[in-house]
Structure 1
Amino acid sequence: MTEHDAIAWPVAQDEEAAVAFLRRVAPAGCRALELGVGTGRVAIRLAREGFDVTGLDASAVMLEQMAVKPDGERVKAVTGDFAEVAVEGTFGLVYAVQHSFFLLRSQEEQVRSFQKVAARLEPGGAFVLQLFVPDPNRLIVPQANDVLQIELKQVVLRVSKYDRVTQAVNRQYVVMTESGTKFYPMVFRYAWPAELDLMARLAGLELEDRWGGWSQEPFTGEGSYTVVYRKPVGK
């Protein structure tokens, strides 16, 4: 998802709500780590609120774009794989937005990331994920095609291929304009909420709560949601 972070049509435009939520669940001004920070659309705003923010991303290009944004220098950029969480120190908050956690392409990588995050969290620290509940109707068939946007100057298509055993998705976004056609490929692995809860327990984290979004609306079991896992005090 980070490759799409600087493109207008896929971005959620929910930065203010995200920062407000993160401020509620984490100590003011604590060290915070964003996994898959992209161009820093949330991290920069969080840094402006006084948090000491580190942004981890595998894309050096995205981190370079973050650096030249206003206040981009406030976020410490680290190039790396967030399955490993190879950063220094501990954090009161670790988070990933807009389903970025699912960019870890195997269950093994996702489990390892939970364990690495738990090791980096301070006692009482929060691990916050913005994710989606997989739609069972889509998984009935091996592939799906959707029209995401129809404008006079642009059409966006989404073509997806599902592996129901490994829970892997191969996806291609096709953007057609007057100047030509561009492709934005993505490979990710979805996980069900119960599976993620188990990953958290194996890492020593506890489920605090799950909401339907950043505004803490009720969780309905479908669509996007936000979940908080907490490292117990004394561990």
Structure 2
Amino acid sequence: MPFQVNPEAYGDALSEVYDQMYPTMETPATVDFIASLVEPGARVIELGAGTGRVAIPLADKGFDVHAVEVSPLMLEKLHERDPEKKVTTIRADFTKLDLEGTFDHCYVVCNTLFMLVDPEQQIETMRKVGEYLPSGATLLVEVYDPTYFHGLTKPEFQVRHLAVDRLMVDTISVDPPNQILAEIHTTIGGGEVSTFTELSRYAWPSELDMMARIAGYEKVDRFGGWDRSPFVVGSHRHITVYRKQ
């Protein structure tokens, strides 16, 4: 495989700024959307939970939430935010799941599935978590729409204002034949500069559906946002719900 990613290094490198990269303004809508897919108190699992942005408020609603995360620094922050230990945490690479019992629902948000840069690994991860999802259980995948990025012919620069005294400059470049997006995050603040390269392997919506079918799912619905707005031309992302066959 020409591309390699260390998920633990990714989490550790970005743990200090992760919550600033992904503001919590969308969290209530995200949690409500997920909660609407299952019965109250259902047993759910998140792949790549990060600092618990979604897992903790979902547990606060009474769901039995299990959070898989490989980065110890991310988990440390999750535990700080969840002193009552409402979320069951599992430190593991979610491509190598070894779980107990079954779950009513699995969700993978924030482009996490695309962090697997091998399409076979993306399929295998969906198949593997499907071993813990009985027939009729649901899988939710949130990823960016690749249309805009696939057309880039030269690197693009974006700036994120993380805090009053901290910003992040993202340098984005694309390898269209391999559907690989490389994003160099440069964080500047407090008199320090740090960089980390994030790779993602994007898939087109129809391709994602095909991979899900191979892994044993059928598509239920697709949306362009947590408000259930339709996925249309120009949508920046898509949120797809699959059902285990």
Whichever residue aligns with residue 224 of structure 2, its letter is: G
> Matched residues in 2 for 1:23 and 1:164: separation?
36
| Gapped regions of structure 2 (runs ≥ 5) | 1-9
Question: Which of 146, 156, 159 is matched with 1:147 structurally?
Answer: 159
SS at match of 2:194: strand
When residues 160 and 224 of structure 1 are mapped into structure 2, their CA distance, relative to the original with a 3 A threshold, is same
Name the residue aligned to 2:60. 48
Q: What TM-score does the superposition give when structure 2 sets the normalisation length?
A: 0.86
- Report the more deviating stretch, 71-80 or 147-156: 147-156
Residue of structure 1 equivalent to 2:20? 9
Q: Aligned partners of 2:184 and 2:151: how far apart in 1? A: 17
**Paired position in structure 1 for 2:112:** 100
Further displaced range: 29-38 or 151-160: 151-160
Q: Match for residue 225 of structure 1?
A: 238
Kindly indicate whether residue 230 of structure 2 is the aligned counterpart of residue 210 of structure 1: no
Indicate if the aligned counterparts of 2:115 and 2:199 stay in contact, CA closer than 8 A.
yes
How far 1:70 sits from its partner (Å)? 3.3
* Deviation of the 1:169 alpha carbon: 2.1
- Letter matched to residue 224 of structure 1: R
Q: Could you tell me which residue of structure 2 aligns to residue 165 of structure 1?
A: 177
Paired residues of 2:21 and 2:162 also in contact (CA < 8 A): no
Alignment check: 8 A CA contact 2:11 2:73 kept: no
Task: Answer 1 or 2: which has greater strand percent.
Answer: 1
* Alignment length (residue pairs): 232
Task: List runs of 5+ in structure 1 lacking aligned partners.
Answer: none
Determine the structure 2 residue equivalent to 1:184. Answer: 196
CA offset digits 1:69-124 (Å, max 9, x no partner): 13461111111122233222211010011111111121111010111122211221
The sequence identity of aligned pairs, in percent, is 31
Take 1:153 and 1:80, find their aligned partners in 2: how far apart are those partners? 34
Which of 69, 76, 100 is the aligned partner of 2:88?
76
Contact 2:184 2:195 in 1 (8 A): yes
